[in-house]
Amino acid sequence: MNFIPVTIKKIMKPVIFSLLFVPLTCLADTFVKVQELKNTFKGGVLDISVSENGRYVFIKDTHQVYWLMSTARPLAFHKIFNDRPNSSVVDSRSLRAQWHNNHIIFFSDDKTEFYDVENHKIDQRYSLILSSFSNSEIFWSEKHQRFIVGTKVFSVDNDTQEDPGQDWHAYQTGLLMTKNGNDYITSGYHDESIMRWTLPDGKLKATWQIGSWYASRKVSDIALVDNHLLVATNNGEINIRSIDDGSVLWSASPCSSFFSSSSPYFLLSGPLTKKSIHHNKFVFFKCDDTRSTFGYIEKQENSWKLDKITLPSTGNSSLQYAYYLDSLNKAILGLYNGQVLLYDLENKNID
């Protein structure tokens, strides 16, 4: 059994919010503001995600400094501070984060902290020890009161920290929770495999080998859309697979050409972080190439459709993030060169 207990002394209950209460113009303006303040963020924006209720935007810059922006008017932003006055949350190791119940959960090697975004303070701290799992993906399951770290499950019952044990993946590239919250899915790059695990016990349920001895397919990223598994591989392909048996239902090669291929990666596409894309329609992707190739895959009634997005050439136009505005059927596109564009998915043009 893949199970490791740790200590959690207090757990918060979930609250359900709706983006309907957040003016879409405020959300769009916030993304624009992020780009306007790009020089403020040291070295540029590395990661960006929106809270469950759409009222806050969390930003990580390339120097591991963390920022919080409000979507309310007037726009406000500030560094996220630790419990020591005037000491920003900076960790030379890989500090990971997750939105949960209007809090940002920060995972570092020696502690786990819940940061209250409304009161701008860390209000809970837990002894989840991750020193043996510095490079692992991590996610908190409220439903089962468990932390998933890499491929392993941590309970909330005692103080034991165990050896990380077997590495199931050779460079893990993904960690996803299924929509019902009872399973989680992981992927590996060099081992070219996807594994499905059960909660709360962390037992291996299924292994799907993506590559073979005659056709290497290293898994670069995974996502969930409409209860289907999207798998991106280094040969430029994106497959739609069944989450029940891993069988291929649809396939496209948006990041490959006659001369070369590159790895696709999925982008933010809703109010949750990329680790839990559960949008019921589509997901954005970008190719790891010099041509700034990107687009989206849309779920249709009986099939899937891939559309590439073509933008005017304006310097480095690599796509950093994409955020879907459901009621408008438009998307906010944030580019590496600082531009923020509103893309009309129906007419396939820039507003």
Residues 215, 290, single domain; the answer is yes
**Number of folded domains in the chain?**
2
Q: Helices marked H in 37-91 — which ranges?
A: none
| One domain, residues 290 and 200 | yes
pLDDT at 175 over 70: yes
State residue 133's pLDDT score. 66
Q: Is the pLDDT of residue 207 over 90?
A: yes
Pair 52, 172 in one domain: no
Same domain, 180 and 123: no
State how far the Cα of 175 lies from the Cα of 161, in Å rounded to an integer.
21
The secondary element (H helix, E strand) that includes residue 220 is strand 219-225
- Do residues 152 and 57 share a domain? yes
Q: Give domain status of residue 335, yes or no.
A: no
Look at residue 46 and tell me if it is in a domain.
yes
* DSSP per-residue letters across 271-286: SS-GGG---SSEEEEE
| Residue partners of 259: CB distance under 8 A and separation at least 6 | none
DSSP-assigned letters across all residues of 123-166: EEEE----GGGTT--EEEETTTTEEEETTEEEESB---------
| Mean pLDDT calculated for residue range 155-168 | 55
Instruction: Mark whether 155 and 183 lie in a shared domain.
Output: no
Judge whether 271 and 51 are in contact, CB under 8 Å. Answer: yes
Please, is 247 exposed, middle or buried when counting C-beta atoms within 10 Å of its C-beta (0-12, 13-18, 19+)? exposed
Q: Out of 90-99, 180-189, 210-219, 326-335, which region has the weakest mean confidence (pLDDT)?
A: 90-99
Predicted model pTM: 0.79
Please check whether residue 9 lies inside any domain of the structure. Answer: yes
- State yes or no: pLDDT of 209 exceeds 60: yes
User: Is the peptide bond between 271 and the residue preceding it cis, with omega within 30 degrees of 0?
Assistant: no
What CA–CA distance (Å, rounded) separates 103 from 313?
Answer: 39
- What percentage of the chain's residues is helix, strand, coil (to nearest 5)? 5, 45, 50
Domain presence at residue 38:
yes
pLDDT tens profile 28-78 = 666 666 666 655 655 556 667 777 777 777 777 666 677 777 776 545 666
- Distance, CA of 157 to CA of 93 (rounded, Å): 27
CATH of the domain at 307: 2.130.10.10
Per-residue pLDDT tens over the stretch 223-266: 988 888 999 999 999 999 999 999 999 999 999 876 778 899 88
Q: Which of 243, 259, 268 is nearest to 333 (CA)?
A: 268
pLDDT digits 0-9 by tens, 67-112: 777 776 545 666 675 444 344 544 444 457 788 888 888 877 677 7
Query: 203 and 138: one domain?
Result: no
Give the burial class of 81: count Cβ atoms within 10 A of its Cβ; 0-12 exposed, 13-18 middle, 19 or more buried: middle
Q: Which domain holds residue 315?
A: 167-323
User: Cα separation of 340 and 342, whole Å?
Assistant: 7
